[in-house]
Structure 1
């Protein structure tokens, strides 16, 4: 009995494309774009109960596939130089997504396995028999100073327990789903340049940002440089990096 997948079963368009490639036993480096596009469009036609924002991502990918398909159907000019494979950008994104998906699955598996481990400083639960102490004679020969010292020791112990408990507390913010994407950060950088004519590295990467946002922002900047959509210059080796639009400078998009 075959398993039927719906569009809402996939995390995004790249997840759906990977499923189709694996289902058809294709090489990710040599995608039969015509066949994959037809199957992808069939999934979109059967889509139900999908949010509008999520659906828009699938539609954008559909437009990209149709564009690549049309380019591959066009005849090549015999005298033209070797053209870039229109699938190259899509293949690169699929490979990066596959890496991230693999790491995510490994981390999820590790999280499940943590229930089998016992960490240091965790409170132990011992099955000890109940004991009813004999209170007669406990206060015999007990002075006020001894009682005061005992009370101070209890207060110090309580303070230590509260401190260690706060140190063992899990920061649930690190478990939140990543909400930053390279596409969003790329748009943010280009919008800053469009508004101000330029921006700087310290402007888009501040110290107050979470580590994951810094990483995604830096990757977005590298992506824009690779595509020659921005140019960077730096007058002082230890100074700020100036970011402007357009391929000004050498062929790699880097200024002197």
Structure 2
């Protein structure tokens, strides 16, 4: 099978890792992320890696590990689901589930990073230019209100993710996203409704599912963007206040 021109126009340095390359191929092929055509996507992925080798591009080992995983999934899908005498729905686990879960969580994390970069750019554009270097804890938003530097929010979030991974190693157990930014935003607003201030970390439980943690973080960013909450630092702790 010859690689498509679209696939060949992308380069290994364009991607942070195999999951990002896979997401690109899935989007390019207009596939449903919950129903990946494994045979097609595996062929595209392997063709891409082979072409990179032909061009003498140094392809990192993790890309080949993913290629092997794709071929294993492809092989498993060729096996019969169940004996004909058994109920096909009982205890059957789609071999794609683990990969789908990884892709969804990676996609959500990338979205969080994208929102952070956007906020960083916006904050820097609207900060007053003075001879003095601005402190890391304060910036000015469009309304002239003091807000938390988004770098500190990112650091706090990264710390929560690390604690989660340390206390609850990730288990691939879902095949769809159960949380939405809208729902988590309502939950956050409800929690701070009767309080003047709420500690940032109190919104996260390191024993929760990783997808819930990420969605909650995205919700905080969205509420900040909509000026429904603001974030500040007090004694090295991050707090959320109502607008």
| Aligned pairs (5 A) from 1:191-230 | 212-213=158-159, 215-219=161-165, 221-223=167-169
Structure 1 CA distance for aligned equivalents of residues 123 and 56 of structure 2:
35
Name the SS for the 1:71 alignment partner.
Answer: helix
Task: Go from structure 1 to structure 2 and tell me whether the alpha carbon gap of 1:46 and 1:220 turns closer, same or farther (over 3 Å shift).
Answer: farther
Structure 2 unaligned regions, length at least 5: 139-148, 174-243
Q: In the alignment, which residue of structure 1 is the partner of 2:130?
A: 123
Which of 84, 90, 102 is residue 99 of structure 2 equivalent to? Answer: 90
Matched, 1:10 2:15: yes
Deviates more, 1:30-39 or 1:95-104: 95-104
Q: Which SS does the other structure have where 1:168 is aligned?
A: coil
Q: Whole-Å Cα distance in 2 between the matches of residues 22 and 167 of structure 1?
A: 41
Alpha-carbon deviation of 1:6?
A: 1.6
- Using a 3 Å threshold, how does the CA distance of structure 1 residues 221 and 33 change in structure 2: closer, same or farther? farther
Structure 1 unaligned spans of 5+: 125-164, 179-209, 228-256
Pairing of 1:153-164 with structure 2 (within 5 A): none
Q: Hey, what's the Cα distance between the residues in 1 that align with 2:116 and 2:160? A: 21
Paired residues of 1:7 and 1:43 also in contact (CA < 8 A)? no
Indicate the residue corresponding to 1:70 in structure 2: 75
Asked if the contact 1:8–1:50 (Cα under 8 Å) also holds between the matched residues in 2, the reply is no
| Alignment-derived partner of residue 129 in structure 1 | none
Distance 1:49 1:212, change over 3 A: farther
Q: CA deviation at 1:109?
A: 2.0
| Structure 1 segment 154-193 matched on structure 2, within 5 A | 168-169=135-136
TM-score by length of 1: 0.49
Query: Does the 8 A contact of 1:6 with 1:43 survive in 2?
Result: no
CA contact (8 A) 1:8 1:49 kept: no
2:33 is paired with a residue whose SS is: coil
- TM-aligned CA distance change 1:225 to 1:79, over 3 Å: same
Shift of 1:78: 1.4
SS across alignment from 2:168: helix
Aligned to 2:229: none
Change (3 A) 1:123 1:6: closer
In 2, distance between residues paired with 1:218 and 1:60? 25
Task: Indicate how the Cα distance of structure 1 residues 78 and 49 shifts in structure 2: closer, same or farther if over 3 A, else same.
Answer: same
Question: Please, what TM-score do these two structures have when normalized by structure 2?
Answer: 0.51
> What is residue 220 of structure 2 aligned with on the other side?
none
Report which structure shows greater RCO (CA 8 Å, sep ≥6). 2
Match of 1:149 in 2: none
How many residues are matched? Answer: 150
Q: Which residue of 1 aligns with 2:179?
A: none
**Alignment correspondent of 2:118:** 109
Indicate how the Cα distance of structure 1 residues 167 and 11 shifts in structure 2: closer, same or farther if over 3 A, else same: closer
**What SS does the aligned partner of 2:30 have?**
coil
2:46 pairs with 1:79: no
